[in-house]
Amino acid sequence: MTLTRSCDSVNAMIRTPRRQLLKLATVLAASAALPAAAQTAAFPSRPIKLIVPHAPGGNSDTFGRILAQYLSERVGQQVVVENKPGAGGSVASGVVAKSAAPDGYTLLVADNGTHAIAPTLYGAKLSYDVFKDFTPITLAATFPTVILLHPSVPATTPAEFVALAKSQPGKLTYSSAGTGNGSHLTIELFRTAAGGLDMLHVPYKGGAPAVQALMAGEVQMTAVSVNTALPQVQSGKVRALGVASSKRSPALPDVPTFIENGIAFEGDSWLAIVGPPGIPADITAKLNADIAATLRQPDVQERLAKLGLVVVASTPAELTAVLQRDVPKWGKAVKDSGAVAE
């Protein structure tokens, strides 16, 4: 009897019109997609943690707190900033890459230090792979670096400085925020692009001491972000030699780029938002849309502009393309400089 009923059921399925089977398959597929769609619609349903891999007070921290404030208002959930400094930002980056759940509730403010310089600077010591161990969300903003001179240096243009440095090999000095830091490597890019200038590097523990050393006349040159340089340039305590960017900075519109002066290099720094690997595509897309819309608010752009930041708010694919460009560029600068992570 059971066998007869089973055979009848099979025969009934065979006799079912193909159109009905296709309709049934469509319904089943739609039903299967409902949980994912519902999850995206509900995201975020609890606070989001935004990890800043540096100490409070720097560009990453200030940017992160501005973003967190306005993003909280947009998504209706608190975005909590957590500072995890250490090893140039690689400590926090490793924590996000290896320990955080890929649910979109833990994000990282990455930068070209953590994701373009660190792979070569730390080499095998680095606990993460910038391409495999993160979900790219957006290239949030860029900020140019400006190379500064002490007023006593008898050069007012890049060409004059290059001539001066070549006439005094090994005598001119420059400060940085530390060996392998972006400020150090930006001048390394400049030295190489200018024909291999022979200068002496004097590393300090942080950007503020490096600028103080320049103002005191202990060194002749340094490189810092535009927002850090602006007060000293405006006061006349230092002189801006050029902007290490593809475009002039709105904060220093009268200072030409090095490219304009025939020295072809770019030292743009950037800030990005990434998450741990494996964040679902729909959650990634929602995060990208919400963060981009937040960054494009006029009041947010105005606040970031005061820091020298230019909003980009890219797609995840565009962020990946930047990494593919910058990892080898900064990696070469690290190798040329001889910098080794402590």
pLDDT digits (tens, 9 = 90+) for 229-260: 989 999 999 999 999 998 899 889 999 999 99
CA 218 to chain centre: 31
Query: In this predicted structure, what is the pLDDT of residue 34?
Result: 43
Query: In this predicted structure, what is the pLDDT of residue 8?
Result: 46
In this prediction the pTM is 0.85
Contact 111, 122 (CB under 8 A): no
Domain coordinates of the chain in residue numbers?
A: 48-142+268-337, 145-244
The CATH homologous superfamily of the domain defined by 48-142+268-337: Bordetella uptake gene, domain 1 (3.40.190.150)
Average pLDDT over residues 270-293: 98
Average pLDDT over residues 63-75: 98
Picking from 227, 276, 269, the residue whose alpha carbon sits closest to that of residue 252 is 227
Contact 193, 122 (CB under 8 A): no
Long-range contacts of 60-68 (CB under 8 A, 24+ apart): 60/89, 60/109, 60/111, 60/271, 62/307, 63/109, 63/140, 63/141, 63/271, 63/304, 63/307, 63/309, 64/109, 66/300, 66/303, 66/304, 67/109, 67/140, 67/273, 67/291, 67/294, 67/295, 67/300
Query: In this predicted structure, what is the pLDDT of residue 228?
Result: 87
- 187 vs 23 pLDDT, higher one: 187
- For domain 145-244, the CATH architecture is 3-Layer(aba) Sandwich (3.40)
User: Fold identical between 48-142+268-337 and 145-244?
Assistant: yes
Average pLDDT over residues 74-85: 97
Contact 232, 252 (CB under 8 A): no
Average pLDDT over residues 303-322: 95
Query: In this predicted structure, what is the pLDDT of residue 95?
Result: 95
At residue 8, φ and ψ (nearest 5 deg) are -60, -40
Res 28 pLDDT > 70: no
Read off the pLDDT band of 19 (50, 70, 90): low
Contact 334, 118 (CB under 8 A): no
